[in-house]
Each structure stands twice: as C-alpha cells, then as structure tokens.
Chain A
Amino acid sequence: MSVIRALYTSIALLIPFGVHAQTFPNKPVQIIVPYAPGGSTDLAARVLAAKLTEQWGQQVVVENRPGGNGFIGMSAGAKSKPDGYALTLGTVGDVAVNPALFPNTPFSMERDFTPISMVSDAELVLIAGKNTPYASVQDVLNAAKAQPGRLSVATSGMGTMPHILLEWMSLVSGAQFQHVPYKGGGPAAAAVAGDNLPLGILAASGVASFVKSGHVKVIAIMSPERSKNNPSWPTLIESGVKDVGGSGWSALFAPRGTPPEVVAKISADVGKALKADDVIARFSGAGMEAVPTTPTELATRIKKDRESFAAIIKSANVKPE
C-alpha cells in the first residue's frame, strides 16, 4: 500500500485541489469518532469505513477526536461543513445521555445534526464474580435492599449506557447500589473477574471470555428482549424490573444543513455496507450487531431514548460534580 500511496501523494502534491464533480463522493470522506482508537465505536467506524471505501472508490478515513465525555468529537462534527464529507459516529451516550447529564453540552442534536443511520448495537449484561452468592436478578436486588448502597457495581464509566441502566434499575426496583466507574469496559471486567468488587454491568463481548473461564457469571441481559446468541440469559424485565432495558448503540450523523439527497445516498450506502456478510461477521466478532436504519427511524429512536434517560437522570439525581 505504501508505494501506491506514495505515488498518489506525489501526484496530489502537484495538483493542489480537486475538481468538483456532480456525484457524491468525489473526494475522501471523513468519519469523526469521539473516542480513542481501539474502543468498540472506533472498531465499528473502521469496519464501516473500510467497506464504504470499497463501495465508493474514495478513501473513507476515521479521525479520532477523543475527550471530554465525547464533547470534542461531537462539537467538531457539529461544526464541520454540511456537505456530507465529514460525518460523525456518535454513541447512545453522546446522543441521548450526555445532553441530559451535563448542563451545558457544547452541541445540540436538533440544532447541529441530521441523523443518517444507526450503525451498531451491542448487548450489555449484568455480571457477578464467581465467589459471590448471587445467581439471579432477585438475589442481587434482595442483597442490595438488605444493605442499601453497599453493593458495588463496576461500569465502563460515568454517563455510559451501563451507568444509565444501573440508575434505571435502582429507580424501578428501589434497590440502591454503589456505582464504581472504570476507564473502559476492559478494566471493569477484570475487576469483577479478580474479585475486587461483586457486580458489573458491561458489554457482553468484553466479559465473554471471563464467563467461559468461570471467573464471572451472567445474571441477566440488560436488553428488553432475550439475546439471539445466548437465549438462556433472562432479561431484567422478565425478572420483575419493569421497563428497564437498553443496549449500547452507535449511529452516523451529518451536520445539519447537509443536502437531503446526499443524506439519503449515504444512508442507503451505509445500509448496504452494514448488510454485507463480511461487515456483519466483523461486527459480531467485536460483540456488535450491524443495525442499519433509515434517518427517520434513527430520529425516532434518539427521541425515545433521550426522553426516558432524561427522566431517569432527573429522578436519580445523577450529576457530574
């Protein structure tokens, strides 16, 4: 690749700017990821970018803009030129949690973004260490009710989907937990596996190997419905925690003002990419499901999640200090 790139670059050096064409895309497209390389959102972006590069014959580059609870990347995406060449891959945390959690989010979903398509969805699970006495959701809730606030639950961080689900579960069941945020799912999973604390709410893919090795056991899946791959995991709802269910999704956005025909084209092409067998396989390897949607479906989903999360955050009085 290097030699070809070097040649390409030498030519690019001689031609300072490209000629505008009628069809999108006629120059490299950028996908801004508000997270550091290596996380599941970044992986989803890179798999998608590789497929779109193939489909469009144009380089689709991932640009990581991590930091500040995803604010930096989202703001950069919001401020990009609305021509379809700078897209943003945001997560449910960026799109539906943070605006409710932080008093002055530097971007607004309505004002700054146009939804394109949902991209990935990851199952989350409630796990317990192997030496804990908990075998069911009821065990966990009873233990937490017997000692309010004395059961520690590890999550992948403040304001992440697992955090919101923990607050939601507390709110509905009346059981109080101690939330212990980690810097990402890996360390949190290892902490539960290493008996540092009894419980965790984490991505199913990140804990799978510890489940297999017997270090941790899965108590429940946090989605509203049972998993296709692991149908034996009960949901919270069927365990008596009414309505509580969610998963970690990510979706692609364009800046507000992007021409509708460009948005429609990107949405259709992303949908096509996400239905490709190799993309589905890569996503599932990383513990995600490829979930293409139309812009309207995505907008509806965001609205629904935002409203319910805002209510939870308000009732549970979650605040960054």
Chain B
Amino acid sequence: MTSFPQRNNGSTPMRVRAPKDFWAGLFFVLFGAFFAIYSLEYSIGNIHRLGPGMFPFIVSGILTGLGVLLIFKSLINDGDAVHRFALRSSGISLFAVVLFGALIKPAGLVISTFTLVVLSGIAQPQSRFLHILALGGGIAIFCALLFVGVIGLPIPIWPSW
C-alpha cells in the first residue's frame, strides 16, 4: 500500500503500518478541515449569542485533530490492510441509483425502477440477463401497485408527456 519515502537517518523507517487507520485518519482530516474552513464563512458570535459558525468550527477542529492522531498511530502501530474495493459492482450500482433519481420525475415510477433493477442486476456478474429483465419488470409493477396503489404515494407511474 502507500508508503512514505524513507528518511536516511537510520532510525525507524516512516511507513504506514496500519493502512485502515491511515486512510480513515486522512478522511477525517479532510472532512474536518473542509467543514472547519467552510464554517469560517459564518459568524462565530459571542458567548451570549453563539454564531452559526462556532459549534461546527469546534466540532470540525476536534475531528481534524482526531484524524491527525489516527494518522500518527497508523505510522507507529501495526494494523490491517484495506481490503480491495469492488469498484465495478459498486460503481454500477451507484450509477443505477443516480439514474433512478434522474428518471423518476420525467419518466415515472415504472421506467425508473425497471432501469434501476436491470442496471444494478448487471453489477452481479453471476446473474442471467433474462432473469434480470423479468425481475426488473416484476419489481417495477410491484412497486407501482404497492407504493402508488396501496399506500397512495403521489408519484407518477408513467411519463407525463
């Protein structure tokens, strides 16, 4: 995994020993720093009237500190490696979710649900395409009957052209 260039002063080499902690720490630092900087946009206020910036600034400051601590720890203590990401299946699934969001207003419940199911079905390489199509149709109709028919949600079933 990621390794830092070694210092040549002979003592302990700087190396990420606990990748999970290192990456988690990095996430917390970035997330915390983002919110800390962003919260400077809002007034800090005073002790009587705390501004909208004060509380998030303190919280994100502590978070950043914890992130730094985790990164340090990850350089000292040994820990687990990060298991590989299933980029293909997760990418396809998340794209399917996004597509659902894009389709639901213009295309209605049936088409968007069908698309979501079929597309995400491809994420799992074992499944057969015909099965997925059938599943997509089934779930789409089931959703329309259940959510709009029985529960009565105000979602259009078909496109409104």
A adjacent to B, CB under 8 Å: yes
| B141 / chain A contacts, CB cutoff of 8 Å | 13
* Contact across chains for A9 and B149 when beta carbons are under 8 A apart: yes
B160 at the binding interface (Cβ < 8 Å) = yes
| One of A1, A16, A321 near B158 (C-beta < 8 A) | A16
Task: Identify which of B45, B150, B154, B157 contacts A12 (C-beta below 8 A).
Answer: B157
Interface members, chain B 106-124 (any A CB < 8 Å): 110
Within 8 A of A (CB), among B137-157: 141, 144-145, 148-150, 152, 154, 157
A8-B149 in contact (CB<8A): yes
In the bound complex, CA of A9 to CA of B109 (Å): 12
- Whether A6 and B145, one on each chain, are in contact in the complex, defined by CB atoms closer than 8 angstroms, is yes
A63 to chain B, nearest CB (A): 6
Q: Are B159 and A16 in contact (CB under 8 A)?
A: yes
Q: Taking A17-B161, A321-B43 as contacts, is the C-beta distance between A30 and B149 under 8 angstroms?
A: no
User: At the interface, yes or no: A286 with Cβ under 8 Å from chain B?
Assistant: no
Shortest Cβ distance from B158 into A: residue: A16
When C-beta atoms are compared, the residue in chain B nearest to A85 turns out to be B160
| Complex alpha-carbon distance, A127 and B35, angstroms | 40
Is B157 a contact partner of A30 (Cβ separation < 8 A)?
no
Chain B: how many interface residues by the 8 Å CB criterion?
19
- Chain A contact-residue range equals 10 to 19
A10 CB-CB contact with B under 8 Å: yes
Residues of B within 8 A of A212 (CB): none
Are A61 and B154 interface neighbours, CB within 8 A?
yes
In contact, B157 and A9 (Cβ under 8 angstroms): yes
Which chain B residue has the least Cβ–Cβ distance from A9? Answer: B149
Q: Tell me if B149 and A5 are in contact (CB < 8 A).
A: yes
CA distance A2 to B141 in the complex (A): 16
A116–B78 Cα gap in the complex (Å)?
Answer: 69
Tell me the minimal C-beta distance from A193 to chain B in angstroms: 24
Taken together as a complex, chains A and B put the C-alpha atoms of A6 and B141 apart, in Å, by: 12
Chain A residues whose CB sits within 8 angstroms of the CB of B45 once the complex forms: 321
A5-B152, A17-B161, A63-B154 given; A10·B145 CB < 8 A: yes
Give the CA-CA distance A145 to B89 in the complex, in Å: 67
Give chain A nearest CB distance to B49 CB in angstroms.
9
- Contacts A321-B42, A321-B51, A321-B52 given: A9-B148 contact, CB under 8 Å? yes
Q: Which residue of chain B is the closest to A64 with respect to CB atoms? A: B154
- B161 cross-chain contacts in A, Cβ below 8 A: 17
List CB contacts (< 8 Å) of A1-28 with chain B: 1-2, 5-6, 8-10, 12-13, 16-17
A79 to B152, CA, bound (A): 25
Q: How far, in angstroms, from A132 to B148 measured CA to CA in the complex?
A: 52
Knowing A9-B144, A321-B42, A321-B51, the reply to whether A17 touches B149 (Cβ < 8 A) is no
- A17 contact set on B, CB distance < 8 A: 158-161
Question: What is the bound-complex CA distance between A192 and B13, given in angstroms?
Answer: 63
Shortest C-beta distance, B87 to chain A (Å), equals 34
A218 to chain B, nearest CB (A): 29
Nearest B residue to A63 by beta-carbon distance? B154
> What are the residues of chain B within 8 A of A1 when measuring CB–CB?
152
B109 to chain A, nearest CB (A): 10
Q: Which residue of A lies closest to B49 (CB)?
A: A178
- What separation, in Å, do the CA atoms of A9 and B157 have in the docked complex? 9
What is A's interface to B at a CB cutoff of 8 Å?
1-2, 5-6, 8-10, 12-13, 16-17, 30, 61-63, 321
Closest 3 pairs between A and B when the two form their complex, measured CB to CB = A9-B149, A6-B149, A16-B158
B residues whose Cβ falls under 8 Å from a Cβ of A = 42-43, 45, 51-52, 110, 141, 144-145, 148-150, 152, 154, 157-161
- Could you list 19 A-B pairs, sorted by A, with CB under 8 Å? A1-B152, A2-B150, A5-B148, A5-B149, A5-B152, A6-B150, A8-B149, A9-B149, A10-B145, A10-B149, A12-B158, A13-B144, A13-B145, A13-B157, A16-B159, A17-B158, A17-B159, A321-B51, A321-B52
